[in-house]
Amino acid sequence: MKTHLTAGIDVGSSSVKCAVVKSQGGRDGEVLGTSVQRIRRRIISEVARAAFEEACAKAGVPAPPADSTGGFDYVATTGDAEQMDGTTGHFYGMTAHARGALFLEPTAIAALDVGALHARAIRMDERGKVLRHRMTSQCASGSGQFIENIARYLGVPLEDVGPMSTQSKAGEEVSSICAVLAETDVINMVSRGITPGDILKGIHLSLAGRLLRLLRAIGSDGTVVISGGLAVDEGLIVALRELIAKEKLKPGTKPTLIHADPRGIAAGAIGAALLGAYRVEQLARAGTLEQVHA
């Protein structure tokens, strides 16, 4: 089977992730380079281009012209943007995250994608086929944006949120799942002298509780890979593991194991790139590959 150079571009609500991957039909892949670019009111297509160029630079491969795939066999998009210049095709977000999660941990039975505006639990089979899923409501308290808002109010840099949370010994959970009311809770905590670390720990525990309910709904009896923007939030990872450790399992039920990987933030992009390589092989067998690159 031929080795393919592919790229995946995952457009989220607050950032664009890109991955450059070398693989054989979407298997036995190697991630050559990844990048994450915050959107911050910029034009999404320009952010995606910057992320693509950064990932190419890290991978040591030439970035193609903006209107071409260049030396890439397939450039795939996933997430919130389908039509972009210089791309080949688009893959559904849950499929891309499922495939990326399996690449990061081949024994995984589920992916927990926690983004800026929503979170979703995805159960998949060993091929990456999505079997079932559950998603949080539109309320921001189940998302990364909520944590970012609280950190901003507390005056804590985002990179310090996780370490401060994990150092807390007495996290104080917010009492509401509504983002507006939860922020009011935080204001009251500050007025009562609760430390930022304890507040952040409580926020993480509250979010982790909501995420665990999603996982229970899809059946999380095995390894779960954290993907999306909060995949690198160590405070959330620790909170999830703490709550899981307190769960009482039914006889014969496997425990939920949380797998965190620094590349988890780019799992969707990695999955899209791998799916692109698989599609190239499919098109080649069907004799229609040249039509795609025409």
Residues in the chain: 294
Q: What angle do CA 55, 292, 269 make, to 5 degrees?
A: 30
pLDDT band per the 50, 70, 90 thresholds, residue 294: very low
Sorted by where each begins, the domain ranges of the chain are 3-93+265-292, 106-260
Higher pLDDT, 181 or 46: 46
CA–CA separation, 188 and 143 (whole Å): 21
What DSSP line would sit under 188-234, residue for residue?
HHHHTT--HHHHHHHHHHHHHHHHHHHHHHH---SEEEEESGGGG-H
Other beta carbons within 10 angstroms of residue 181's beta carbon come to: 13
Mean pLDDT calculated for residue range 160-164: 92
Angle at CA 132, nearest 5°, toward 126 and 137?
Answer: 135
pLDDT per residue as tens digits for the range 121-148 = 999 999 999 999 998 765 555 567 788 8
Tokens coding 30: 């190697």
Topology agreement, domain 3-93+265-292 and domain 106-260: yes
Kindly list the distances between the CA atom of residue 211 and the CA atoms of 85, 124, 201, 241, in Å, as whole numbers in the listed order: 36, 17, 15, 12
Element (H, E) at 15: strand 15-24
Assigned CATH topology for domain 106-260? Nucleotidyltransferase; domain 5 (3.30.420)
The percent of residues in the chain predicted with pLDDT above 90, rounded, is 54
Is 143 in contact with 257 (CB distance < 8 Å)? no
Per-residue pLDDT band for 290 (boundaries 50, 70, 90) equals low
One-letter amino acid for residue 62 of the chain: P
Q: What gap in Å lies between CA 236 and CA 229, rounded to an integer? A: 11
pLDDT at 115: 86
Give the pLDDT confidence score for residue 173 in this predicted structure: 72
CATH of domain 3-93+265-292: 3.30.420.40
Residue 25 has pLDDT above 80, yes or no: no
